[in-house]
Amino acid sequence: MVRKDDIKLIDAVVKAAGLTKEQRKLPHRAISGEQLSYREILEEAKAIQRDFPGKR
The least CB distance from residue 16 to another protein, in Å, is 12
Dist CA 25 CA 31 (whole Å) = 11
Contact 48, 27 (CB under 8 A): yes
Compute CA 34 distance to the chain's CA centroid, rounded to the nearest angstrom: 13
Distance CA 5, CA 12 (A): 10
Q: How many residues bind another protein (CB under 8 A)?
A: 32
Contact code string over 11-40 relative to another protein, x by CB under 8 A = x--xx----xxx--xx-xxxxxxx------
Q: Which is nearer to another protein, 4 or 39 (CB)?
A: 4
Note whether 44 binds another protein by CB under 8 A: yes
